[in-house]
Amino acid sequence: MKQDQSKPSASTRLERDTMGELAVPADAYYGVQTARAIENFPISSLRMPRAVIRAMGLIKRAAADVNHSLGLLDKKPADAITQAATEVVDGKLDAEFPVDIFQTGSGTSTNMNTNEVISNRATEVLGGARGSKLVHPNDHVNLGQSSNDVIPTAIHIAASDMMQKELLPALDRLQKALQGKAKEFNTIVKIGRTHLQDATPVRLGQEFGGYARQVELGIQRVKQAQAALSEVALGGTAVGTGLNCHPDFSAKVMAIISKETSCSFKEATNHFEAQSAQDSLVEASGQLRTLAVSLMKIANDIRWLGSGPRCGLGEINLPETQPGSSIMPGKVNPVIAESVTMVCAQVIGNDVTVTVGGQAANFELIVMMPVMAYNLLQSIELLATASNNFSAKCIEGIKANEERCKSLIEESLAMCTALAPEIGYEAAAKLAKEAYKSGKTVRQVAKEQKVLPEQQLAELLDPWRMTEPGGPVGSAGG
């Protein structure tokens, strides 16, 4: 039989809010509004990411300090809030944040969850009983704030901080690993491919240099996302007017948090934009989606280049990480690259959710903040961990199969491209078709037909020369 939640028991305490009384677990730091949210949203197992909870702690701690400095909050409750908020920042109270992601669209339940946890812990620090509101969740912890400006601010802080501490270092490692391979493989000439068909030669190092540049541009995009996230809503309170908030509050709070996170945050130029929309989150998610597309391309190329080992392309050898088949002994699969592609698919899907969330902006408030937070932060986390793993367990251990690269070049019919400026496009195409039909190489057929003097033929069909600009000018293929 379900217990009557309006009555206390040995394991509960009775708390009151504006809607009446409700029993709350006696040992919980959260309070009545959180208990209502738990009842109202039994939707999923998804909870607000730790990074957002940490950011909420940073905001509440800085707010207490600033409100005290402005003469709005006495020293004793301010110090108690600071201590309690620090425990939230440090993760000591993570179990006290049980509210589902699929909750009120503004994130009010999470803001009140945070206010209640800090309130009760601060009350306890001052010698009071949990639930007594010696330090009040609204009047003290939430002083000068609204869920409508705190939640978007916390998401911006969490996302930018995760990018700074997790994603950018991971991408830097990946970029350096790829650039290192570009240098290592620069002397190895191989066949290029367009449309999955043979094309003119490239150096293996040039391919890897392209991958390195993709990641380098990805790093720039993440920094652009951080710039978009730098303006925050804090200070706008309920609808952007700043009602019940000291005019210096936001700037002072964000100065503290900028110093603590080593990320740049400032009060929004226009609070009505900052709270009624979240184009900045949509932009940041879009940059992450672009990065995911880049990593998908790189990971797929790595899989193809390492395919085989005997009946595929086999131009590179990937590190062996685990047995690849439950039925085929000795098979080893490109599992690290495959994990990257799945991460990329997830990030691309997450971006759709963030984009839809960004459209849920009605008048003065956007009402899909929690799910936008969850998907954006998951994307950052996945891209960071996958990039690190890709570097450590795949890219850094790749070896080139130089002999395979050489043998495939000579077999390629695209070698005829270098002859086109001298003998014409149609003659070169005819030569390639004859080579294919006879099973000979382009070089062999060209020699047999004496299309050019042997020395000139050797120069034109030098694979290394084909990997650099210059030489005779003519159509270069497609």
Q: Domain containing 436 — which CATH number?
A: 1.10.40.30
**Domain boundary at 117, 143, 169, which?**
143
Query: Of these residues, 325, 407, 438, 475, which one is catalytic?
Result: 325
Place of tokens 């391979």: 181
pLDDT for 435: 86
Claim to verify: residue 226 and residue 313 sit in the same structural domain:
yes
pLDDT for 1: 38
The CATH number assigned to the domain holding 120 equals 1.10.275.10
Report if residue 355 sits inside a domain: yes
Claim to verify: residue 325 and residue 422 sit in the same structural domain:
no
Q: Which residues of the chain have pLDDT under 50?
A: 1-3
Report if residue 149 sits inside a domain: no
Claim to verify: residue 221 and residue 88 sit in the same structural domain:
no
What is the domain range of residue 102? Answer: 12-143
Report if residue 85 sits inside a domain: yes
**Domain boundary at 143, 163, 178, which?**
143
For residue 466, count CB atoms less than 10 angstroms from its CB and return exposed for 0-12, middle for 13-18, buried for 19 or more.
buried
Q: Are 236 and 274 in contact (CB under 8 A)?
A: yes
Claim to verify: residue 62 and residue 202 sit in the same structural domain:
no
User: What tokens does 57 get?
Assistant: 């702690």
Claim to verify: residue 28 and residue 90 sit in the same structural domain:
yes
Nearest-angstrom CA–CA distance, 228 and 265: 10
Count of the separate structural domains present in the chain: 3
Claim to verify: residue 221 and residue 342 sit in the same structural domain:
yes
User: What is this structure's pTM?
Assistant: 0.93
Claim to verify: residue 352 and residue 204 sit in the same structural domain:
yes
Please tell me the number of Cα atoms within 13 Å of 252 on its side-chain side: 17
Beta pairing, strands 316-317 & 361-362? unpaired
**Domain boundary at 143, 169, 185, which?**
143
Report if residue 283 sits inside a domain: yes
The CATH number assigned to the domain holding 306 equals 1.20.200.10
Give yes or no: 325 in active site.
yes
Write out 9-39 in H/E/C secondary structure: CCCEEEEEECCEEEEEECCCCCCHHHHHHHH
Report if residue 73 sits inside a domain: yes
Claim to verify: residue 202 and residue 343 sit in the same structural domain:
yes
Claim to verify: residue 182 and residue 64 sit in the same structural domain:
no
Report if residue 164 sits inside a domain: yes
Claim to verify: residue 114 and residue 22 sit in the same structural domain:
yes
pLDDT for 337: 97
Give, for 102, the enclosing helix (H) or strand (E).
Answer: none
Q: Convert the pLDDT of each residue in 114-138 to its tens digit.
A: 999 999 999 999 999 999 999 999 9
Claim to verify: residue 276 and residue 127 sit in the same structural domain:
no
Amino acid at 21: E
Cβ neighbour number for residue 10 with a 10 Å cutoff: 5
Claim to verify: residue 26 and residue 107 sit in the same structural domain:
yes
Report if residue 6 sits inside a domain: no
Q: Which residues are CB-contacts of 32 (< 8 A; sequence separation ≥ 6)? A: 15, 16, 17, 21, 22, 24, 116
Report if residue 19 sits inside a domain: yes
pLDDT for 82: 98
